[in-house]
Structure 1
Amino acid sequence: MRVELESVPCRAAGDADLPSALERARRGDEDAFRVLYRAVQPGLCRYLRVLVGQDAEDVASEAWLQITRDLTSFRGDLAGFRAWTATIGRHRALDHLRHRRRRPVADAPAEWFPERAAPDDTASAAIEATTTDAALALIATLPRDQAEAVVLRAVVGLDAKAAAAVLGKRPGAVRTAAYRGLRTLADRLGGQV
């Protein structure tokens, strides 16, 4: 199956009949795959942003290549699909971090890149991105197990059992890590809310 995917920024997509779209996508329906991609990509991107920072879009692209390749072999419901995509994304993120440690990258100055006008409402996108980035940056200050548990439960929307499968932990450990992470965030934001 060859599907052209446009870049979907980290924002919510409208829900369609996702369980039906999953079944149709497994059978090769490209339109159904697009529906799934638009529904799952924002949460996956936010999760990956906690793990790899600004490289989240690149890692998500690698994850979607594997998801597309292996979709016909996936068995499960929509919640299982979300957990499966998060697991693949996590594996690609860990690969990316190992690669980056072996071959560090130098940043390039902005002057090296030509300016182009944005096709959408740049101001709204910037405000949304800044708010999302700030929230994810705050979550990223938590210990890694708590940060991953919070993002998988609160942002990606996985239940404790599915998040536990992604992280290779017991559901109780995931619930505890998410609870502790959310309590820490609440304490840090105590005077700012």
Structure 2
Amino acid sequence: MLDDFDGVLSRARSGAGEAFTLLYGDLSKPVAAYVRAQGVREVEDVTSEVFLAVFTGLSGFTGDQAHFRSWVFTIAHRRVMDHWRRSARTVPQVPYEPADDDRAVGSAEADAMDVLGHQRVLALLGRLTGEQQEVLVLRVVADLTVEQVAEVVGRSEGAVKALQRRGLATLRKMIETETVPL
């Protein structure tokens, strides 16, 4: 409570900065507490809006200190309601996470390289025997163990290892000599 409310109000109406400071200092903490109690996260923003409205409307206020306090809290209540109406109309802002964005597409260069890489792998595998292709795809792409591949293809583990070894050796020679056309 201010000791000389009428004098402070009069000086504030005439534009005295120290009077604004006294009015703000007297009620800013209770207004902020009220705004916070209403569940507003942006307490400082709404409190600032309240006192901006108070200071711009000061010339139209009439009454004593108790009326002034009621008037300030009426403005605070209206600003809180305005805040909740704006919040209801505003889509919540979510930080952008590129890794979570399933709309993202690769660049044309990356897509072309993927296609060329895929085509090259198919061309290289096409030069292997059918059994070597099957074993390498099961081992590398399907990530199966030698035992699992042997079970799938109906061959012994030793036969699978031999097919894998020969297939990889053939691929190594082809890559080294670059005999596969793109």
Larger radius of gyration: 2
